[in-house]
Amino acid sequence: MTAMMTYEFNAEQTMPVLARLGLQERLLRTAPTDTVRGLFFNGVLEMVRTAADEEAVRRCRLMLNQARFFDFFSYSTFDFLRLTFAAAQYLSIRQEGFDAALTQLGERGMKDFLNSMAGKTFLSFSGMDARRMVTNLPVLFRTAVSYGERSVKWLGPQRCQLTMHGDFMPPAYHEGAIRAAVEHLHPHSVTVQSMPLDLLDSQYLISWR
């Protein structure tokens, strides 16, 4: 079967039932004021292009209200959710399932942000101190998206709990994003464990050695 034939399907219709239901519930809770920076859209589309093909990218673009995304302009969270879940379905064919694909998308998003001018400014305030950087993660998220509240509670020198309220992205996505952030300064033995509290609320136990 050719690559083109492989992607001849509607990603939202063929994604796992729980993922599709979760997406629908998240979409219902979005408001026009909920926005995401354009660089995250661009990263998702590039991952689809690399892992799938241009036809998959074309199908993803059809669900968006923008033809082009500028990295630090703000765009609809409604659109970003649809794009991310559709991309995860395309990527899951070559990954270890839907959640693994979401984790990869989260990793890509965080790496893109940290390599941007805003990300480099954020890192400059942290120096090479992973603990300081993790403490400042709520600031990073406020720069990246308009919605949600986040807080960090330290449980030890290299162990903490990050709590998110009102965040639209699923825990698997954030596991990848948080791991990528910590590994940027401390690349060894980083673990991130998520615990959903509600549809838009979750906690993450973060540790490293």
- Structure confidence by residue, pLDDT tens digits, 147-160: 999 999 999 999 99
Residue-level pLDDT at 13 = 59
Residue-level pLDDT at 12 = 65
pLDDT tier for residue 20 given thresholds of 50, 70 and 90: very high
Angle between helices 171-185 and 117-126 (to 10 degrees): 60
pLDDT tier for residue 3 given thresholds of 50, 70 and 90: very low
For residue 61, pLDDT beyond 80: yes
Alpha helices in the chain (DSSP H): 3-6, 11-14, 17-29, 38-51, 54-62, 77-92, 98-114, 117-126, 130-135, 137-144, 171-185
For residue 8, pLDDT beyond 50: no
**203 strand-pairing partners:** 163, 195
